[in-house]
Amino acid sequence: MRGVVNSGEFQKLVGEKLRRLRLEAGLSQRDLAQRLELSHQQIQKYERGDNALPLERIRPFAMALGVAPAVLAFPEIDWMAAEPTSNHSSDHAELLRLYEALPDGETRKRLLDFLRTLVKGRV
């Protein structure tokens, strides 16, 4: 973990983390831009650190990349060291996106109960 950084350095850290996560997910800038309904040029600006990634966009970006929002919100922490089996596949990202699109908390709860039943004793 690095020491205290200024806002410009922080933007660069977020951009570097964003780029690394995008590549690990096997996505092009265009792919990510389409998922987020942005231009690929805007993705480039975030990755270079030219533009700051707004706080309200951290969650959608994290979902599209299949990571927890904290991974982007705190780029100076190496979350991967704590998660050696982390999977950044596009299936993982899609699963998160679909879960978030469920209409209500009751539906989410039923899905989680179902998944727990499927994997009971395996994890």
Q: Is the residue at 2 inside a domain?
A: no
Exposure letters 68-107 (e unless 16+ CB within 10 A, then b)? beebbeebeeeeeeeeeeeebeeeebeebeeeeeeeeeee
In a domain, 107, yes or no: yes
pTM tops 0.75: no
- Per-residue confidence (pLDDT) for residue 90, from 0 to 100: 63
Determine what percent of the chain is predicted with pLDDT higher than 70. 80
Question: Where in the sequence is the domain holding 74, given as residue range(s)?
Answer: 7-119
- List pLDDT tens digits, range 68-117: 888 888 877 765 444 444 445 566 667 777 777 778 778 888 888 888 88
Residue 114, classed as helix, strand or coil, is helix
Amino acid code (one letter) for 42 = Q
Given a cut of 90, whether residue 36 has pLDDT beyond it is: yes
Residue 31, domain CATH: 1.10.260.40
